[in-house]
């Protein structure tokens, strides 16, 4: 039973990793003493401006005008920074082992690259935006889960799974170039603060749709219950999203945003679609600097199998409580917004862009055969 639950939650975690893991776009690291370069203001995105030859995926926004993209070239995998303003590209890194995924750090200064040279082995490489290797480690692994520290991007947490879904959890210190095993009960951790993680404490005896949210200090192991019963959670820089069952009969759920003092800053209710053993949480993202939460919303509650409608994309201002419908009739696919909130990468490979101001979608890939 424990293995089945781990498998279920691993699949769910992978979906959120795709989002970034898609939603990890906070800018919480202390600013550099060096003068910051002025970012270009992206006024217009030209459709079909990204080469589709060998295209694997877009990773995310480097800044408000540049994205990171991944392509296959001559049997290897190359990582580029692509400027959507002038279409210039810079090739920063190449990997020869089979590519699995890459994730930008919250401060957009580093890239975590996961490759799998063998079925039961994972290579972890962390580079800067110039392609310099900052950390590299091979570990036994059938699957990996990983999460950047949004409060200090020199740290990550990694869970390595064996084929039977047993696991080990590690913290990675990039500056010290070391990886330390961590004593924790659950593998799917997020960072609550620079020195603490948060996770759902699932029962090993019973199948449940909710679990307490526990914060644990990574140094002394001290624990604290943050939320008594949560169905889904995401820790952002300034607040914690906890999705809780409001009315199970109506498939109605409460999205609660809890600040660092433990107070509910904002909340709203949405219907969710039920699946065989849980509920579908649509893709979402947070524009931290604007206190704006974006999510896809189904037209009504019910079951995933019987729902034949599309989703609307809506925005909530966490300070004012105002809601805005941005677009209708979209598929529920990964979403990752730029730091200024003007555009969002969108799609299973983040191959499209949603223009928030103009309320339209733009296809980035040039016409032709896609990988």
Question: Which has the minimum average pLDDT: 43-47, 177-181, 200-204, 289-293?
Answer: 43-47
pLDDT of residue 35: 38
pLDDT tens-digit map of 143-186: 999 999 999 999 999 999 999 999 999 999 999 999 999 999 99
Kindly list the distances between the CA atom of residue 59 and the CA atoms of 18, 55, 102, in Å, as whole numbers in the listed order: 9, 12, 7
pLDDT of residue 16: 40
DSSP-assigned letters across all residues of 224-266: EEEEEEESEEEE-SSEEEEEEEEEGGGTEEEEEEEETTS-EEE
23: tokens are: 């939603």
Q: Residue 250 — pLDDT band, cuts 50, 70, 90?
A: confident
pLDDT tens-digit map of 341-369: 999 999 999 999 999 999 999 999 987 54
Does some domain include residue 80?
yes
Does some domain include residue 130?
yes
pLDDT of residue 158: 97
Does some domain include residue 116?
yes
Q: Residue 278 — pLDDT band, cuts 50, 70, 90?
A: confident
Name the percent of the chain lying above pLDDT 90: 75
For residue 25, pLDDT beyond 70 = no
pLDDT of residue 249: 76
**SS3 state at 174:** coil
Mean pLDDT along residues 136-141: 95
Does some domain include residue 103?
yes
pLDDT tens-digit map of 300-318: 888 999 998 899 999 999 9
Mean pLDDT along residues 60-84: 96
pLDDT of residue 368: 58
- On average, the pLDDT of the chain sits at 88
Paired sense of beta strands 279-280 and 273-274, if any: antiparallel
- For residue 124, the surrounding DSSP H or E stretch is strand 121-128
More confident residue, 76 or 7: 76
pTM: 0.87
Q: How many CA atoms lie within 13 A of 215 on its CB side?
A: 16
For residue 38, pLDDT beyond 70 = no
Does some domain include residue 189?
yes
pLDDT of residue 215: 96
pLDDT tens-digit map of 4-22: 444 444 444 443 443 334 3
In the chain, how many domains are there? 1
Q: How far is the C-alpha of 146 from the C-alpha of 156, rounded, in Å?
A: 7
Does some domain include residue 255?
no
DSSP-assigned letters across all residues of 3-72: HHHHHHHHHHHHHHHHTBSBT-----SPPPSSPPPPPPP-----TT-B--TTEEEEEEESSSSEEEEEEE
pLDDT of residue 44: 75
Q: Residue 225 — pLDDT band, cuts 50, 70, 90?
A: very high
Q: Give the CATH number of the domain where residue 209 resides.
A: 2.130.10.150
Does some domain include residue 29?
no
For residue 24, pLDDT beyond 50 = no
pLDDT of residue 101: 96
Region of residue 157 (phi > 0: left; psi between -120 and 50: alpha; otherwise: beta)? beta
pLDDT tens-digit map of 194-213: 999 999 999 887 778 899 99
Mean pLDDT along residues 256-268: 94
Q: How far is the C-alpha of 79 from the C-alpha of 126, rounded, in Å?
A: 13
pLDDT of residue 264: 95
pLDDT of residue 40: 60
Does some domain include residue 2?
yes
Domain range holding 204? Answer: 1-24+47-230
Q: 70 pairs with which residues across the strands?
A: 57, 79
């Amino acid at each position: 039973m424990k293995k089945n639950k781990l498998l279920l939650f691993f699949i769910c975690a992978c979906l959120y990793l795709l989002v970034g893991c898609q939603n990890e776009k906070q800018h919480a690291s202390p600013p550099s003493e060096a003068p910051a370069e002025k970012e270009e203001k992206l006024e217009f995105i030209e459709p079909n401006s990204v080469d589709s030859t060998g295209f694997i995926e877009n990773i995310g926004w480097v800044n408000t005008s540049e994205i990171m993209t991944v392509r296959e070239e001559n049997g290897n995998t190359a990582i580029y920074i692509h400027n959507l303003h002038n279409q210039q590209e810079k090739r920063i890194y190449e990997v020869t082992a089979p590519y699995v995924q890459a994730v930008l750090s919250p401060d957009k200064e580093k890239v975590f690259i996961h490759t799998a040279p063998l079925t039961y082995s994972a290579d972890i490489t962390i580079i800067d935006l110039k392609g310099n290797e900052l950390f590299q480690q091979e570990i036994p692994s059938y699957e990996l889960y990983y999460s950047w520290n949004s409060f200090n991007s020199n740290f990550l947490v990694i869970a390595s799974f064996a084929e039977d879904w047993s696991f080990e959890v590690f913290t990675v210190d990039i500056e010290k170039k070391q990886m330390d095993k961590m004593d924790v009960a659950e593998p799917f951790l997020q960072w609550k603060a620079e020195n603490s993680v948060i996770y759902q404490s699932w029962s090993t005896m019973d199948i449940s749709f909710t679990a307490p949210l526990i914060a644990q200090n990574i140094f002394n192991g001290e624990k604290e219950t943050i939320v008594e019963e949560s169905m889904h959670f995401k820790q952002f820089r300034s607040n914690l999203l906890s999705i809780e069952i409001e009315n199970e009969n109506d498939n109605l759920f409460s999205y609660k945003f809890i600040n660092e003092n433990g107070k509910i800053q904002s909340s709203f209710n949405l219907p969710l679609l039920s699946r065989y053993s849980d509920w579908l949480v649509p893709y979402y993202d947070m524009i931290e600097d604007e206190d704006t939460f974006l999510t896809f919303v189904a037209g009504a509650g019910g079951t995933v199998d019987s729902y034949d409608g599309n989703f609307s994309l809506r925005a909530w201002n966490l300070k004012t409580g105002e809601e805005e419908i941005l677009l209708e009739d979209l598929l529920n696919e990964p979403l990752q917004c730029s730091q200024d909130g003007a555009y969002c990468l969108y799609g299973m490979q983040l191959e499209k862009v949603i223009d928030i101001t103009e309320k339209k979608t733009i296809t980035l890939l040039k016409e032709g055969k896609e990988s």
